[in-house]
Chains A and B, each alone.
Chain A
Amino acid sequence: MLSISKAEKSYIQAGLTASPPSRSDGRGLLDCRSVALETGVAPLANGSARLSIAGATEVIAAAKLDVETVDDGTEGRDGGRLICTVSCSPSAYPNLSSSTLDDLQADLTSLLHTTLTHPTLHPQNLGILPGKKSWLLSLDVLVLADGGNVLDALFLASRAALWDTRVPRTRGVEYKARGRTAATATGGQGEGGRGDMDVDQEVQSGFDSRMIHRATDFELPDYWDEGEVLEGRERWPVAVTLNLEPPIHFLDATSQEEAASPLRLLLAFAFPQETPPVMQAMRMLGPGEVVLTELKELIKAGENYARAMHAALNTKLREEEVRRNQRARERFELHR
Chain B
Amino acid sequence: MAQANFDRRRINGPEESHPPIFGAEELVHGSRWKAGQPRDSRKPEDIRRIFLKSGLIDQANGSAYIETERTKIACAIYGPRQSKNTSFNEKGKLNVEVKFTPFSCDRRRAPMRDAEDRSIAVAIHQALISSVRLELLPKSTIDVFLTVIEADGIEGCIASGIVAASTALADGGIEMIGLVVSCAASVVGSETWLDPTEAETQSSEGTVILSCIPALGTITSLWQSGQMRQHDVLRVSLLVPSRAYF
Contacts and interface: CB of A to CB of B under 8 A. Distances in A.
Interface of A: 72-73, 103, 106-107, 110, 114-115, 118, 120-121, 265, 270, 276-292, 295-296, 299-300, 303
Contact of B118 (A110, A288, A290): A110
Interface string B200-214: 000001101000010
Contact of A103 (B118, B221, B234): B118
Contacts of B42: none
Contacts of A118: 225-227
Contacts of A292: 217, 219, 237-238, 241
Contacts, number: 86
Interface residues of B, number: 32
Contacts of B26: none
A329 to B, nearest CB: 39
> Chain A contact residues: over half helix, strand or loop, or mixed?
mixed
Contacts of B126: 284-286
A289 B229 contact: no
A289 B205 contact: no
Contacts of A280: 225-227
A290 B18 contact: no
A107 B126 CA distance: 12
B206 to A, nearest CB: 8
A278 B218 contact: no
A287 B230 contact: no
B216 A289 contact: yes
Given A110-B118, A299-B234, A279 B222 contact: no
Given A299-B230, A300-B230, A72 B18 contact: yes
Contact of A287 (B122, B129, B225, B238): B129
Given A278-B228, A292-B219, A299 B130 contact: no
Of the listed residues B229, B230, B237, B241, the one surrounded by the most CB atoms of chain A closer than 10 A to its CB is B230
B227 A278 contact: yes
A188 to B, nearest CB: 28
Interface string B1-31: 0000000000000001010000000000000
11 contacts: A103-B118, A106-B118, A107-B118, A279-B206, A282-B223, A282-B233, A289-B216, A290-B218, A295-B219, A296-B234, A300-B230
